[in-house]
Structure 1
Amino acid sequence: MSRRILRAAVVGAGLLGLDLAERLAQSPDLVCGLVAGRLGSAGLRRAARLGCAVSDAGIDAVDPAEVDVVFDASDATAHPARRAELAGAGVLMVDLTPGTGGVVVAPTVNGHLAETARHLSLVSCGGQAALPVLDVIARHCAPRYVEVVTTAAAASVGRAGRRNLDEYIAATEAAVRQVAGTPQAKVLTALTPALPAPAFRVQVAVLAGDVEPGLADGIEAAARAVRAGFAPGYEAARVTTERGRITVTVTVAARRPGLPGHAGNVEIINAAAVLLAQRHAATRKA
């Protein structure tokens, strides 16, 4: 049987939401039926020019009888109960905010969970960049402590992202602990106004005991999988192991036409979100 094209709604008309709407326009499995944001926002006007229906009612504009997938790119603290309600109604909830709830998913780590789960948490852009590396590290040693430092161009982080920095740190730390299998993790983040704007960067440091051979090759294989699957500008470089300390530098450059190269943070989480929704769509036959 052929695939069913799923109807999608995007909640949030900022940097993430608009890029999502543009990606959905290019998807063979998803169609953007609604972009919901704030009254009078420039983002809604731009979404309307893309041909999407728009609403200023936010997530309350989403009718579960009219959509199959909801991408939430709004505010982490705004409506957790509404997210759960939509997921309970059979809608696939793809949460791009660092909110609580949902199954933590990264496409190359545990992307198969998107086939059956109804509430996916993409954690954060830093989480999406770090988790493929940490998944490999955890298979080569037993981490005792993990530190992740993310640096993004200020121009690539919108209003909601700035409001949610505390939630960003908390959600990313929780996901790091889960994937690395350690109770101790620290996440630090910085927004830089530097010009020219630098690519999104994530520095991963791990303290562990003995490290099994093949770590660097495993990390490069994980990076190739991310590049081939959804984020062609993903690189994991400068892998070092010395006296039980492992360090890896991840950079993500945006490659989608129309997105500035420094917006790798936008690219990695949005590309992951669309890929996971397409994987879910593949399991729902017409």
Structure 2
Amino acid sequence: MSGKVKCAIIGSGNIGTDLMIKIMRTSKNLEMGAMVGIDPNSDGLARAARLGVPVTHEGIEGLLKMANYKDIRVVFDATSAGAHVRNNALLQRDGKKVIDLTPAAIGPFTIPVINGDANINEPNVNMVTCGGQATIPMVYAVRRAVERVVYGEIVASISSKSAGPGTRANIDEFTETTSKAIEVLGGAERGKAIIVLNPAEPPLIMRDTVFTLSQGGGRDAIEASILEMEQAVRKYVPGYRLKQKVQFEVIGDNAPVRIPGIGYATGLKTTILLEVEGAAHYLPAYAGNLDIMTSAALVTADHWAAQYLAKEAA
């Protein structure tokens, strides 16, 4: 017995491979039990095999046939929103804990610094999206300092090189899931999300812009809440930081903005500029989008595994 919970990763692309390396290097309560892909020539499967991790290129069916499948308690799904629906059904049948890194949103939205362990015992938890993990904490930071966030909009810009086939296949789901999570977790009455795949060479670091329109609450309180949130996220994503000072603009009655579904509104516009530098566990440091997603998933799963091990020991 290693004293750790065995886990599997479905999806041997950029996200899955980065997560595997994080688990092997930094996890307190998890150990790799399997790496699952569909391309026998994928770099992720090759790396896993070299590191001594059991592998299969036969997808979920291959995982179900693996000799140690019965010992695996946690499964991370880093495939696509469409594939996750079927994967989850099979895994739930077998009583596995599922951490969803796709935008499928079958389980409740989970962002460590917002709702932390609130959904820890749900059979499936959804990690929203990389852009959501980076920006929604800031929408929430504004919301807790004001009476009302009428609107929240985020723009996530990531290097094209950090976006693998799964990410590209999920663009529509990214915008829909992130927009919804801005409302559900961020507390905005209306949310909108935009993602930009930047083809610049050399690749640029992940950059995120957050806009909110709020009512009630002062600038000092909003800025203090934002700075506190920055430090909270940095505890598990050290490369997360404000790019520059928070910006404010008063939207008055002379020039109200029209918000779909709400109408014309006034208030205080807050602009938050972020950048996320990755830990370079797999792709270089420009891939902060991988780092924040996999770090959030690992923190969530590690907390669940700690509880599981404590119960087993009792």
TM range (shorter): over 0.9
Q: CA deviation at 1:3?
A: 9.7
CA contact (8 A) 1:25 1:31 kept: yes
Taking the aligned partners of 1:112 and 1:28, their CA distance within structure 2 comes to: 17
Aligned residue identity for 1:146: G
- Residue 273 of structure 2 corresponds to 249
1:265 equivalent in alignment to 2:289: yes
CA contact (8 A) 1:138 1:180 kept: yes
- Residue 276 of structure 1 corresponds to 300
Aligned residue identity for 2:28: P
1:216-246 CA distance string (max 9 Å, x none): 1111111111112x10000124312221111
1:62 equivalent in alignment to 2:63: yes
CA contact (8 A) 1:4 1:281 kept: no
- Residue 144 of structure 2 corresponds to 139
Percent of residue pairs identical: 32
Q: CA deviation at 1:259?
A: 3.6
- Residue 171 of structure 2 corresponds to 165
CA contact (8 A) 2:155 2:195 kept: yes
Q: CA deviation at 1:38?
A: 1.1
1:11 equivalent in alignment to 2:10: yes
Q: Flag as ranges the 4+ runs of structure 1 deviating above 4 A.
A: none
CA contact (8 A) 2:151 2:214 kept: yes
SS of the equivalent of 1:190 reads strand
After superposition, the CA RMSD in angstroms is 1.9
Q: Match for 1:73 among 72, 75, 78?
A: 78
Question: Which consecutive residues of structure 2, in runs of 5 or more, have no partner in the other structure?
Answer: 251-267
1:173-215 CA distance string (max 9 Å, x none): 1111112333421111110111221111110001122233411
1:93 equivalent in alignment to 2:92: no
- Residue 216 of structure 2 corresponds to 210
Pair 1:76–1:257, CA change in 2 (3 A): closer
Question: Which consecutive residues of structure 1, in runs of 5 or more, have no partner in the other structure?
Answer: none
Between the two proteins, the alignment pairs up a number of residues equal to: 284
Q: CA deviation at 1:94?
A: 0.5
SS of the equivalent of 1:40 reads coil
1:121 equivalent in alignment to 2:126: yes
Aligned residue identity for 1:60: E
Q: CA deviation at 1:32?
A: 0.8
- Residue 193 of structure 2 corresponds to 187
CA contact (8 A) 2:5 2:73 kept: yes
CA contact (8 A) 2:17 2:282 kept: no
TM-score (norm 2): 0.85
Taking the aligned partners of 2:201 and 2:234, their CA distance within structure 1 comes to: 26
Aligned residue identity for 1:94: I
Taking the aligned partners of 1:158 and 1:259, their CA distance within structure 2 comes to: 11
Task: Say which is worse superposed, 10-19 or 72-81, in terms of deviation.
Answer: 72-81
- Residue 156 of structure 1 corresponds to 162
TM-score (norm 1): 0.93
Pair 1:58–1:169, CA change in 2 (3 A): same
Matches within 5 A, 1:26-41: 26=25, 27-41=27-41
Q: Match for 1:201 among 178, 192, 207?
A: 207
Q: CA deviation at 1:137?
A: 0.8
Larger radius of gyration: 2
1:113-152 CA distance string (max 9 Å, x none): 2532221100100000012111111112211111111100
Aligned residue identity for 1:218: S
Taking the aligned partners of 1:123 and 1:41, their CA distance within structure 2 comes to: 29
